[in-house]
Amino acid sequence: MHHLRRLINIKDSEFMLLSYNILINKTFKKNMQEMNERSTEKKLFELAQDAQKKAYAPYSLFAVGAAIEGISGNFYQGCNVENVSYPVGTCAEAGAISAMINGGDRKIKRILILGSGKNLITPCGACLQRIKEFSDDSTLILLADENGIQKRLKITEMLPYGFANLE
Ligand SMILES: [Zn+2]
């Protein structure tokens, strides 16, 4: 440290001030980042709640809402859409991904899934593969119940060996 100070020819008081400024700056940036993350998560949750209210689930009565933050910073929503021919129904995640593609985004930064009832739900196997198609290693899956986000998992944790073109 002494060596470094001598090298850049700086007084003790200046050095302290400089270190202090760097520390404050780092803390400030970290706090700002955390605040942004929290407000993005809040927005995702509200969008998923809004989508969940629009779900078409007359057969299961299990409404699901999903919301995506694309890499562009834009947001997209989806809800489950059931069908009298049960397998024809689609998941909320699929709807949100369609909206994202239609909106011009190609990468999911975060996707939040909100189910009905007391238990957390996770994306089904098919939806994990759908999410993987538009993910990178940092893509997050946020699992929420009516009280808010309860779990944050990476797609790589939920689907470590998903189908992909290996080169
Ligand atoms: Zn699904």
What's the CA gap between 134 and 108, in Å, rounded?
Answer: 6
Catalytic positions are: 93
For 113, counting Cβ atoms within 10 Å of its Cβ (0-12 exposed, 13-18 middle, 19+ buried), the class is: buried
Domains of the chain plus CATH, in order, are 39-158 (3.40.140.10)
Compute, in angstroms, the gap from residue 122 CA to the centroid of ligand 1.
Answer: 9
Query: Would the pLDDT of 76 be above 90?
Result: yes
Compute, in angstroms, the gap from residue 37 CA to the centroid of ligand 1.
Answer: 26
**What local confidence, expressed as pLDDT, does residue 23 receive?**
82
> Model's pTM, two decimal places?
0.84
Q: What is the mean pLDDT of the chain?
A: 92
Return the half-sphere exposure (C-beta side, CA atoms, 13 A cut-off) of residue 89. 21
115, 121 contact by CB (below 8 A)? yes
Q: Which residues surround ligand 1, an ion (CB under 5 A)?
A: 91, 124, 127
* pLDDT bucket at 8, cuts 50 / 70 / 90: low
